[in-house]
Amino acid sequence: MERTRSRRRAFGAFAKTRAPYPSKASPQIPSSPDRRNETVQLRLVPAFRDENAVGPHRWHVVERLLNRVSLVFAGIATLALLHLFSRSSLSCAPAPLPTAHRTHGDGRSRPQNPKPAPSSPRSSCDAASREVLTPDKRFAKLRSSHSWRRRADAYAALFASLRSPTLLSNASHVLCVSAGAGHEVAALQEFGVSDVTGVDLVDFPPLVRHADPHNLPFFDDVFDIAFSAGLAGALFPTRFVAELERTVRRGGAVVLAVDRPSSAQEAEGINALFRRSSLLEARNTTMLGSEMTLFIMKNNGKKRS
C-alpha cells in the first residue's frame, strides 16, 4: 500500500511539471493574466500556399516563374497593338493608281488612263479619304442629276397649266405640303414664284423644312395657294385637307394631285374631304407616265352645309 501511494505521488508531480501537448484542432492562445483586454490575432495561411507541403523555397521559385510569364504576355500584347496601329496607318495611305498599257499597231506599248474610282467605298479607310460634301454641294450635285431634272420639269409643266392672274402668279404665296425632296418647290422657283414654302415630315434643306402635314405651324389665311401630291400617304386625310384649307386665305385655292380615280364615287369621296372649299375644276393629266387628276378647290372661308 505504501509503495502504491508513493508511486501515485511521484506520477502526479511529474504530470504537473510536464508541458501539455499542443492541439492541432485549435490555435494556441498565449496565456495572460488578464485575457479580457487581450486581442488575439490569428494568421491564416491560404490553402494553395501550404509551405509545409510545397516548401518555402519551391514556392518562391513558382512565384517568380509566374511573374516572368505575366511580363512576357504583357510584352506580346503591347507588340501586337503596335503592329495593328502601324498596319492601319499604312493601309489608309493613298495607294498609287495602277497604269494600264495597251499595245498599238506599231508594236509599242503606251499607257492608258487609269480606271475611275468605284462609286461606293470598299473599306473604312476608303471612305475616310473621300471629300465630305457640304449640304450645298450635295444639293447642287443632286439637282444636276437626270432624274431630278426630269421630275422637276414634270412639275414645271403642271404649274404652267395652272398659271393665271387669279390662281397662280409670280406674286403668289405658295405652300407645298408633303414636298419630299422639293421638286415642286424648285419648279415653282424656276417658274418665277419667289415666295414658296415646302414642308414634310423629313426636311430636305434648303428647299423643304420639317413640319407635320396634320398640324402645320402656320397662321390662318397666310397663303394664296396650297399644293400637295401626298394625299395618298396621309394618315388622316380629313385632318390633312383641313390644315390645307386653314392656311389658305379666303378666295385662294387648294390644289391636290392624286392618282386618277377609278370611279365617280371615289372622286366624290375626295371632294367630300373639303369643308370650306368648292370644286372649281377636276382636270386629268399625265405626269412621269402616271395618270393623275388635279382637284382645284376654291376656299370660300366658311364651312359647307
Give the chain's domains with CATH numbers.
139-299 (3.40.50.150)
- Sign of the dihedral defined by the CA atoms of residues 147, 152, 155, 156, in that order: negative
**Whole-number Cα distances in Å, 177 to 158, 185, 201, 216:** 16, 10, 10, 9
pLDDT tens for 167-179 read 999 999 999 999 9
* pLDDT digits 0-9 by tens, 207-223: 999 999 999 999 999 99
pLDDT at position 141, please?
A: 84
Residue with cell 368648292: 278
Strand ranges inside 202-276, DSSP E: 208-210, 223-228, 248-259
Using alpha carbons only, how large is the chain's radius of gyration in Å?
A: 46
Q: Is the pLDDT of residue 54 over 60?
A: no
pLDDT-derived band at 40 (thresholds 50, 70, 90) equals very low
Q: For the chain, what is the mean pLDDT?
A: 79
The candidate with the shortest Cα–Cα distance to 270, out of 300, 294, 301, is 294
Mean pLDDT on 270-292? 93
User: Does 109 or 253 have the greater pLDDT score?
Assistant: 253
Contact 271, 278 (CB under 8 A): no
Q: Tell me if 59 sits within 8 A of 49, measured CB to CB.
A: yes
pLDDT at 136: 79
Q: What is the pLDDT of residue 62?
A: 84
* Main-chain phi, psi angles of 57, to 5 degrees: -65, -45
Q: Which pLDDT value is given to residue 273?
A: 95
User: 116 vs 267, which has greater pLDDT?
Assistant: 267
The pLDDT assigned to 13 comes to: 55
| Beta strand residue intervals within the chain, DSSP E | 101-103, 109-111, 173-177, 195-200, 208-210, 223-228, 248-259, 277-287, 290-299
Model-wide pTM > 0.75: no
C-alpha cell belonging to residue 36? 479580457
